[in-house]
Amino acid sequence: MEAFNPTYDYACELDRQDDLASFKDEFYKKKGTIYLDGNSLGLLSKRAESSLLSLLDSWKQYGIDGWTEGEHPWFYLSEKLGGLLAPLVGASSEEVVVTGSTTVNLHQLVSTFYNPEGKRTKILADELTFPTDIYALQSQVKLKGYDPADHLVQVKSRDGRMINEEDIIHAMTDDIALIVLPSVLYRSGQILDMARLTEEAHKRGILIGFDLCHSIGSIPHHFNEWDVDFAFWCNYKYLNAGPGGVAGLYVNKKHFSRTPGLTGWFSSQKDKQFDMDHELTPAEDAGAYQMGTPHVLSVAPLIGSLEMFAEAGIDRLRKKSLHITRYMMELVISELEGMGFTIGNPLEDHKRGGHIYLEHPEAARICKALKENGVIPDFRTPNGIRLAPIALYNTYEEVWMAVGILKTIMKEEQYKKFKNERDVVA
C-alpha cells in the first residue's frame, strides 16, 4: 500500500481511483448514515429489490405454473442459484445449492458426515466459533448417543481473539470423526487456512467442513483445489440477500454417492419427484441436500445481488476490501492513539477477513454513541466493536468520516451518557 495520508483529500482521491465505485449507487443508503455493519446484514440493492418484485409478479402472473414457467421457474431456482454461487467458493455448479438456513444446513451436513465408528467418535470445533454452530454440534452428538462434554472437542484460543492453526492440527487425534470450523472467525476476522487444515485432516482420515458465513462474498475460495468435504453459509451478510435470506451449502462431488442424513421431498431427483414414490431417489448432486419446498420469495433478492458479484468479480472485491480495511486501521492508529482502543483483528492481509475488530472496555457505550452520530457499527460482547467497510458500497470518505466521528465521541466523552451493556439485538 502507498504511504498513508490521514487527510480528507486523500480519502476522496482513493474514491476517485476506486474501480468499483459505481456499485455504491446500486444500494439504498440512508442519508446521513454511514453503514459499517454489512458483515451482519448487507444493505438492500436496487437489483435485489427488482428480482424480489419479479418473483412476486411471477406468482401473480402464473399462479401454480410459476414452478415451471417465467424467467426464473421456481422448481429449478435453488439449483440455478447454486450454479451462480459456485464461482464464489471455487466449486462446480452441481456442488452448490441455495437452501435452508445456516443452522439447518449444518444439521443436514453433520447428520450426513458424522458417522462415529470404532474409536473415531468425536467432533472437533473451536471455542471462538459462532454459538449456533456449537448448539447444532452438541445436538448431533447427543443424537448419536454421546455426551457433548466428552465428544465435542473445542480447540482453545491462546489470546481470546484468534485460533492457532498448529493447535487445531495437534487436536486432530485418532478419535476425531469430523471437523467443523469457521473459515473466518466472526469476532476477530481471522481467516483460517482452509487448504492447509483440509490437507492435514485428510492425512489423518478425517472429514472436514467449514462455516463460510463471514467469508462468502468477501474472500475467494478454491474448494476444487482444496478438496474440502462440505461447507455451509448464510447469504445475507456480504451477499446482501436480505434478512433471513435463504442460505447455501457445498458438498464435494466425491461424496455424491452418500444419501443425505436428513431427506425430504426436495431431496428427490427432479424427474422422479412427482412420481410420489415412497422410495426416495436422491438427486445426483448437491440438490439432494434440500429438504422442503424452497422459500421462493426469500431467495428472490439473491438473484439480483449475484448479478453484481458476477460483474464485480470476487478478486476485485477482495483487493478493495483489503485496501480499505488497511486504510481504516491506519486511521485508527493515527487518530485514536491513547484512547484505549486495541486492534484485535489480524494485521496481515492474508489472515484478515472483511472487517476490523476494535476492543475497548467501554465498547457497548461507544457503539451506542456511534449510532447516535449516524455511524452503524456492530457490538460483540464483551468488549468488541466490529466495523465492516464493504467493498461494494462503502467509500473511503465514509471510513475517514467514521473514524473522525469516533475520535470526537472519545474526546468529548459522549459515550458516558449510555449504559455499558448491549441492547437486545447487539
Residue 318 is given by DSSP the state H
> Does 211 show up as a binding residue in the annotation?
yes
Place of cell 445456516: 102
Q: Which of 236, 405, 330, 310 is nearest to 86 (CA)?
A: 310
List the grid coordinates of 296.
421462493
Q: 8-17 and 396-411 helices cross at what angle (nearest 10)?
A: 150
Q: CA angle, 357 as apex, 355 and 361 as ends, to 5°?
A: 155
In the block, cell 402472473 appears at 61
Q: Is 237 a residue of the active site?
A: yes
Q: How far is CA 248 from CA 96, 177, 241, 279, 329, in A?
A: 7, 24, 11, 26, 32
386 is catalytic: yes
- Which of the following is catalytic: 37, 126, 211, 229? 211
Grid cell digits, residue 389: 467497510
Q: State the angle between helix axes of 46-62 and 296-312 in degrees (0 to 180), rounded to the nearest 10.
A: 140
- 371 a catalytic residue: no
Q: What letter represents residue 182's amino acid?
A: P
**DSSP per-residue codes, 244-284:** T---EEEE-GGGTTSPPSS--GGGB-TTTGGG--SS--B-S
Q: Is 214 labelled as part of a ligand binding site?
A: yes
Q: Are 274 and 213 in contact (CB under 8 A)?
A: no
Are residues 330 and 307 in contact, defined by beta-carbon separation less than 8 angstroms?
A: no
* Cell of residue 245, nine digits: 435470506
User: Which residue of the set 35, 186, 232, 236 is catalytic?
Assistant: 236
What is the three-class DSSP state of 88?
helix
The reply to whether 130 sits in an annotated binding site is yes
Given 24, 47, 237, 380, which residue is catalytic? 237
Distance, CA of 170 to CA of 247 (rounded, Å): 32
289: Cα separation from own chain's centroid: 19
- 326's enclosing H/E stretch is helix 314-335
Among candidate residues 386, 393, 396, 415, the one labeled active-site is 386
From 10, 130, 135, 146, active-site residue: 130
Residue 408 labelled as part of a binding site: no
Q: How far apart are CA 352 and CA 343, in angstroms?
A: 12
135 is in an annotated binding site: no
131 annotated binding-site participant = yes
CA distance 79 to 81: 5
281 labeled part of a ligand binding site: no
Contact (Cβ atoms closer than 8 angstroms) between residue 318 and residue 220: yes
Q: Would you name the residues annotated as active-site residues? A: 130, 211, 236-237, 386
Known binding residues: 102-103, 130-133, 211, 214, 236, 265, 293
Known binding residues for pyridoxal 5'-phosphate: 102-103, 130-133, 211, 214, 236, 265, 293
